[in-house]
């Protein structure tokens, strides 16, 4: 019905200043690649795709959001009931008995008669001022807002799963890198211990290298703990325990390659596809219709009613002798101390609040895209500097080792150069993960929702709740 679906196509309530949104003409950067609606597949890893799909089906928070959508859908159906007449029916049987001389005795008293009566009534409110229509549209807008809220929650969940998966992949890489560095440091320690036994090096050199070995062991242990923490976080997002998570993971895989920059499109189009912006629009529409309803509540209510009643000694007499009563009534509030006027003023203020919230959501959406684009350039530049520093650090370590072998520098120079080299290698891995995670943020900021088939299904669960007094 057009009356009920108008708010699905209308973007903003009338007479609201859309130009005050102040949208820019374009974003600061854009690629040429069209973004996949399932944007996590851009990383080209089937494992990530499987984890995200698993989370979208089984995450309990997302399922709770889905049930809130079902509540809004039921409320919208209830609000539409006002467009139809209300029918009620009643059937009554009356039996009369005379009391005996000893008092009332219904088992042995004389039967004075048995009568049946029936009643069928219909009532209908003439929606002259649009009160019912505004209420139905407000409920429908609330349902549409909840639909977008479900999309927002699904996108946020996909982003969290992707970011946690990237963190797990990084920690696996850190563990492998730290294990390799620990082996190198232990080999160096054995060489120094042999040189110390031959009187070639000092005890301080051995102790310093042992300290570096201890540091590597501690960092490796931290990486192991971070791996377990990431697994627990990932399992919670999927709605399972860590034992069920392990078969879904391919242990030891590295970070994926960074996909090409997607086409960011025009900022105005972003507002037509982002579910959180669409949700704010629907919420604004709901406030608009609620304000209309509050205005109509102050006006008289016109109602029509019809009652058909009949009765007799048997149930068949109800249809033989009946009476039809038709009523038209107008009822309105003459004085209520300003209660209805206050209610209308409150809804008008709610509408203004939701307009401000909508503008804030639009600004936040644009800001998220711009921040992600700025952050990507920043991390790319930092990664380039880190790679150059690693190249220089490798050369420094080689030169310092040669100089130490010739006795021209202390071992502390070698130790410092090695520690810096190993730290830079780990920083590169972290920067690569940050770059990929920032791309997840950009995909999330540009996304326009997921296919309906990716969202969870409505599957009621039979719950047996303990109630006091029921055992």
Average pLDDT score, the chain:
87
Return d(Cα 157, Cα 166) in angstroms, integer.
Answer: 14
Of 259, 258, 277, 260, nearest in space to 268 by CA: 277
Q: Is the pLDDT reported for residue 393 higher than 70? A: yes
H or E segment and range at residue 368: helix 339-406
- Write out pLDDT tens, residues 18-56: 566 777 888 888 888 889 999 999 999 999 999 999 999
Sign, Cα dihedral of 436, 437, 438, 442: positive
- Write out pLDDT tens, residues 113-130: 778 888 899 998 898 888
Return d(Cα 187, Cα 201) in angstroms, integer.
Answer: 16
Return d(Cα 216, Cα 418) in angstroms, integer.
Answer: 12
Q: Two tokens at 198?
A: 């031959």
- Tracing tokens 């109509």 back to the chain, one arrives at 296
DSSP state letter for 103: B
- Tracing tokens 């025009």 back to the chain, one arrives at 266
H or E segment and range at residue 5: helix 2-9
Of 147, 138, 136, nearest in space to 78 by CA: 136
Q: pLDDT band for position 203 (50/70/90)? A: very high
- Write out pLDDT tens, residues 164-198: 999 999 999 999 999 999 999 999 999 999 988 88
- Write out pLDDT tens, residues 337-368: 888 899 889 999 999 999 999 999 999 999 99
Please report the domains of the chain, with CATH numbers, ordered by start residue. Answer: 2-9+31-91+115-331+346-448 (1.20.1600.10)
pLDDT of residue 110: 54
Q: pLDDT band for position 250 (50/70/90)? A: confident
| Number of neighbours of residue 118 by Cβ within 10 angstroms | 18
Contact criterion met (CB below 8 Å) for 350 and 287? yes
Q: pLDDT band for position 144 (50/70/90)? A: very high
Radius of gyration in angstroms for the set of CA atoms belonging to the chain, rounded to a whole number: 37
């Amino acid at each position: 019905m057009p009356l009920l679906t108008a708010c699905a196509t209308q973007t903003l309530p009338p007479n609201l200043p859309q130009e005050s949104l102040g949208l820019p003409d374009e974003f600061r950067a854009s690629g040429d690649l069209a973004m996949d609606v399932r944007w996590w597949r851009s990383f080209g890893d089937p494992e990530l795709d499987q984890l995200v799909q698993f989370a979208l089906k089984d995450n309990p928070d997302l399922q709770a959001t889905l049930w809130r959508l079902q509540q809004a859908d039921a409320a919208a159906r209830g609000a539409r009931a006002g467009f139809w007449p209300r029918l009620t029916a009643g059937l009554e049987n009356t039996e009369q008995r005379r009391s005996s001389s000893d008092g009332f005795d219904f088992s042995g008293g004389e039967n004075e008669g048995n009568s049946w009566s029936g009643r069928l009534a219909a009532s209908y409110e003439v929606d002259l001022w649009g009160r019912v229509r505004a209420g139905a549209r407000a409920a429908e807008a609330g349902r549409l807002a909840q639909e977008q809220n479900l999309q927002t929650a699904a996108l946020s969940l996909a982003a969290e799963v992707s970011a946690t998966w990237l963190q797990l992949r990084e920690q696996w890489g850190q563990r492998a890198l730290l294990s390799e560095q620990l082996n190198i440091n232990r080999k160096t320690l054995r060489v120094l211990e042999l040189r110390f036994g031959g009187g070639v090096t000092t005890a301080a050199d051995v102790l310093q290298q042992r300290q570096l070995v201890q540091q590597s062991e501690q960092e490796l242990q931290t990486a192991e703990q971070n791996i377990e923490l990431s697994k627990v976080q990932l399992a919670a997002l999927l709605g399972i325990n860590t034992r069920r998570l392990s078969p879904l993971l391919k242990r030891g895989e590295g970070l994926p390659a960074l996909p090409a920059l997607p086409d960011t499109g025009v900022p105005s189009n972003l507002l037509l596809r982002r579910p959180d912006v669409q949700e704010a629009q629907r919420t604004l529409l709901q406030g608009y219709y609620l304000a209309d309803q509050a205005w109509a509540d102050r006006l008289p209510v016109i109602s029509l009613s019809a009652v058909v009643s009949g009765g007799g000694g048997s149930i068949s007499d109800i249809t033989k002798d009946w009476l039809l009563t038709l009523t038209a009534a107008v009822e309105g509030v003459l004085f209520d101390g300003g209660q209805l006027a206050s209610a209308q003023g409150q809804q008008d203020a709610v509408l203004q609040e939701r307009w401000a919230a909508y503008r804030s959501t639009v600004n936040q959406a644009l800001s998220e895209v711009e921040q992600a684009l700025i952050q990507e350039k920043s991390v790319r530049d930092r990664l380039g500097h880190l790679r150059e520093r690693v190249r220089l650090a490798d050369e420094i370590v080689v030169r310092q080792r040669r100089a130490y072998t010739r006795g021209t520098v202390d071992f502390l120079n070698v130790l410092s150069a090695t520690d810096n080299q190993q730290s830079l290698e780990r920083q590169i891995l972290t920067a690569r993960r940050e770059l990929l995670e920032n791309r997840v943020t950009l995909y999330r900021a540009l996304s326009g929702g997921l296919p309906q088939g990716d969202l969870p299904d409505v599957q009621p669960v039979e719950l047996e709740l303990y109630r006091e007094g029921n055992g």
